Chain A
């Protein structure tokens, strides 16, 4: 069963990851490259050392695609694990819905406190932002589960509290200063959320589909 689960997650991750990498190539990556021009100009102005990216050209595209495949496989496995834990019947439709809820937790809830940023945007301490992001995603995910899957009114109230609570602790930058033009930043925030939504829903749908196909093969063989 473990092998079947890992295979389903991996297949879904590779297919969804490559599709999302293609989407990134035409939506978010051009905006990141444009923002880096402003960031580099600011660095040159400050006479600081030039920050050339370690990966460029084709290497950069390959590295980005691999990272996106890894994230998509991770998303697929997390969704399959969640569905198995809660005794859900796993198919493409239900898994895509789970993906949509996961996007609400890790994309919509976190973007309220930390808007998706381009390089050069105003920032606070990275570790603090990462901890807040992870805590918010986990808390919102648990809250949504309590609201949607548990029947007791107390559980629903607790779930709502879990969804609201992280937003009392946003990590806000002291001064909202950025080298990135507002127009680019706004387009990037929208593009990034779209890409993240696509990657969760696609990873979910494909994980559900490959789980069903692999399970059918196993049942026929047995």
Chain B
């Protein structure tokens, strides 16, 4: 019984760790795509200009 509870706890613990890592990856990934594809800063826009058009993000 105790072993079973411990096992369940460790599984849910690793699930929580997985979700935490997935959340961090999602935020970093979204940040990268937003920065390169959508940010309105002029320098970022000019640097990423051709990529924005090529990857069909709205541009100009």
Chain A positions within 8 Å of B, measured between CB atoms, are 1-2, 4-6, 9, 13, 24, 27-29, 32, 53-55, 60, 63-64, 66-68, 70-71, 73-78, 80-82, 84-85, 107, 110-111, 114, 116-119, 123, 126, 129-130, 132-134, 188, 191-193, 195-196, 199
Contacts and interface: CB of A to CB of B under 8 A. Distances in A.
A119 B43 contact: no
Scoring A1, A66, A71, A191 by chain B CB atoms within 10 A of each residue's CB, the highest score goes to: A71
B57 A6 contact: no
B33 A84 contact: no
B58 A114 contact: yes
Query: Lowest 7 A-B CB distances belong to which pairs?
Result: A77-B29, A74-B32, A74-B33, A81-B26, A67-B48, A116-B56, A129-B58
A77 B18 contact: no
Contacts of B34: 74
B51 A73 contact: no
B60 A74 contact: no
Given A74-B29, A77-B28, A54 B54 contact: no
A78 B30 contact: yes
A80 B53 contact: no
A75 B6 CA distance: 37
Given A74-B36, A119-B60, A55 B53 contact: no
B54 to A, nearest CB: 4
A9 B19 CA distance: 16
Interface of B: 17-26, 28-38, 42-43, 46-60
Contacts of A193: 56
Question: B-side binding surface: helix, strand, loop or mixed?
Answer: helix
A70 B22 contact: no
A200 to B, nearest CB: 9
Contacts of A1: 17-18, 20-21
A53 B46 contact: yes
B12 to A, nearest CB: 13
Contacts of B20: 1-2
B53 A73 contact: no
Contact of B29 (A4, A24, A78, A196): A78
Nearest to B46: A54
B29 A64 contact: no
Contacts of B59: 117, 119, 126
Contacts of A114: 56, 58
